[in-house]
Structure 1
Amino acid sequence: MQRSTFKVLFYVKRQSEKHGQVPVMGRITINGTMSQFSCKLSVRSSLWDAKANKASGKSLESQRINEKLENIKTNIGKQYQRLCDRDSYVTAEKVRNAFLGMGDDCRLLLQTFDEYLAEFRKRVGKDRAYSTYEDYCLRRRRLAAFLEYEYHVKDIPFKELNRNFIEKFVVYLSTVKGLASGTISAGVKKLRLMTYTAYKNGWILVDPFAGFHVRPKYAERRYLSASELQAVMDVELPNYRTGINRDVFVFCAFTGLSHADVVKLTHADIHTDYNRNHWIIDKRQKTGTQFRVKLLPIAEIIYDRYKNLHLEG
């Protein structure tokens, strides 16, 4: 009875139309269960025949599309037959996963990324910083957005990753997201880590990143001269809040601390030695490494100015 209800239909996602092209999607239905997938094909919207579930006409373009759709339907039918012979109960999701190579022994890219993030989150506050965790989550979201944009899928098996996939991801980050080369390089590094994990664990036979490099172009970093820093300290500012921001910047300059390290300072982090000198003794926000910094005269003045307002505790 199951086999009589097995159907494979194709349709286009018109809301995702780009430059007159629409992605072709597939839908499997079996005994009341349904599962959809991307055919990884696109067709001119004017060519699609919604009633016939295929491209219309006899042009070479239509013939090419319809031939690929027929191959997809045949392959899905073979997976359905195999599962019916093996399992007592077959669902559309099972057939879809088998067709896409996503069986129980198949690993997915974002699935692996999520597992990595879960383990990383456990280490936050110990030897990892929460800001780094947030940054990795952002890179994961960009990768997920790319899969939706380019392939119209929620996840993808590692075995489908190749050099073309990586190159398309780089182009996407550059053109669609408008990211600079340094940010692109950082995002690609996390993808590289995921593929290396898959290669190391034997989930794929070849690392698609082998021989691939993204070389970021960094702008030359400037530094303030003594006179420029003095000008920042002397300038008259329009309001109190802007003055606070300026003083935090100057405090960072005279202590060598990052903004994140200064923001979390409390009175408990300020220590006085036998000579009545003040020292900041704390741990770096990012690495957890302890540091000791003596307050120079200008940093001391700023500390005295705000100690009753910003260093409660």
Structure 2
Amino acid sequence: YSFWLRSVQNCSHNTTVKYLSNFKKIVLICIKNGWLIRNPFVQFKMVKKEVNRDFLSWIEIQKISEKQFATERLNHVRDIFLFSCYTGLAYIDVKNLRKNQIATGIDGEQWIYTQRQKTDSPTRLPLLPKALQLIEKYQNHPQCQDGTHLLPVLSNQKMNSYLKEIADVCEINKPLTFHIARHTFATTITLANGVPIETVSKMLGHKSLKQTQHYAKILDTKISFDMKALREKLQ
């Protein structure tokens, strides 16, 4: 089955492992019910390879933010993408976001109160000033006036297609997709600025820190900042 997934179906290593893991769950149910005598997965190891996830640097974020595109649709897509960079919300969660999910938090600031569609886990997220500016920019947009949508989000396919155009215009040599915004929030926006990984995990709506560690790279700038603080303490 593993060989068939890799050869005939042309699956990558991690995709193959994912299919095998799901199949193993079914096999274990069969063993518990006595439908299988032995476990065929005994001595069969399944280890996922570490994947380097792309994210934007602060310079790249500024480059996209400051660029005035020739067409309004690219400016529109850029704004929605940047909103995700400043909130960490996945595409479907941005698309489903409604006006009544914005409320005043315990600190008197505006927060997002929503649930992740993928995991159905609650997400409480303080809004950064740049995210608030983008909400205000589109509050009178025809798609947003009835309150069912906070932002006028296009289909995921169109968003990703236009993001590739944006990357070309801004000379960013990365496969720019909407999901990169979520990685960017975890790394460049939060972790690199000293936000603890436990807080980042909560804002991303993750159920464990292990999930967050896939997104969150410890940047060289963060290592430099932490070691500088250590040097001062030791002196």
Tell me the secondary structure at the aligned position of residue 203 of structure 1: coil
1:299 aligns with 2:123: no
Residue pair 1:272, 1:279 contacting (<8 A) in 2 also: yes
Match of 1:271 among 103, 109, 122: 103
Residue 3 of structure 2 aligns to which amino acid in structure 1? V
2:58 matched residue in structure 1? 226
State the shift of 1:273 in Å.
5.4
- Where does structure 1 lack aligned partners over 5 or more consecutive residues? 1-168
- 1:202-241 alignment, distance < 5 Å: 202-241=34-73
Q: Do residues 252 (structure 1) and 84 (structure 2) align?
A: yes
Normalized per residue, the structure richer in strand is 1
Cα 1:200–1:257 shift into 2, 3 Å: same
Displacement after TM superposition at 1:236 (Å)? 3.1
Where does the alignment leave 5 or more consecutive residues of structure 2 unmatched?
A: 149-235
Match of 2:157 in 1: none
- Secondary structure at the counterpart of residue 292 of structure 1: strand
Contact 1:282/1:292 (<8 A) preserved: yes
The residue number in structure 1 matching 2:14 is: 182
Q: Distance in 2 between matches of 1:217 and 1:244?
A: 36
Deviation at residue 212 of structure 1 after TM alignment: 0.9
Deviations 1:46-79 (A, max 9, x none): xxxxxxxxxxxxxxxxxxxxxxxxxxxxxxxxxx
Q: Is the 8 A contact 2:112 2:126 kept in 1?
A: yes
Structure 1 CA distance for aligned equivalents of residues 107 and 51 of structure 2: 44
Cα displacement (A) at 1:214 = 2.7
Question: How far is 1:257 from its partner?
Answer: 1.6
TM-score of the two chains, using structure 1 as the length reference: 0.43
Query: In structure 1, what is the equivalent of residue 75 of structure 2?
Result: 243
- Matched ranges for 1:1-313 at <5 A: 169-272=1-104, 277-309=109-141, 310-311=143-144, 312-313=147-148
User: 1:274: Cα distance to partner?
Assistant: 8.9
Distance 1:236 1:178, change over 3 A: farther
- Asked whether the 8 Å contact 1:248–1:259 carries over to 2, the reply is no
Q: Residues 12-33 of structure 1: CA distance to partner in whole angstroms, max 9, x if unpaired?
A: xxxxxxxxxxxxxxxxxxxxxx
- What is the rounded CA distance, in whole Å, between the counterparts of 1:188 and 1:246 in structure 2? 38
- The structure-2 alpha-carbon separation of the partners of 1:224 and 1:212, relative to structure 1 and needing over 3 Å to count, comes to same
> How far apart are 1:293 and its partner, in Å?
1.4
CA contact (8 A) 1:261 1:285 kept: yes
Percent of paired sites with the same residue: 29
Report which of the two structures shows the higher radius of gyration computed on alpha carbons: 1
In the TM superposition, what whole-angstrom CA distance separates every residue of 1:151-195 from its partner, at most 9, and x where no partner exists? xxxxxxxxxxxxxxxxxx112211222121111111111111111
Is the CA contact (8 Å cut-off) linking 2:87 and 2:131 kept in structure 1? yes
CA RMSD of aligned residues (A): 2.1
Q: Find the residue that maps to 1:308 and give its secondary structure.
A: coil
User: Which stretch has the larger CA shift, 226-235 or 199-208?
Assistant: 226-235
Amino acid at match of 2:109: N
3-state secondary structure, aligned to 2:39: coil
Deviation at 1:277, TM superposition (A): 3.3
Residue 239 to residue 180, structure 1, CA distance change in 2 (3 Å): farther
Aligned equivalents of 1:239, 1:183: Cα separation in 2 = 38
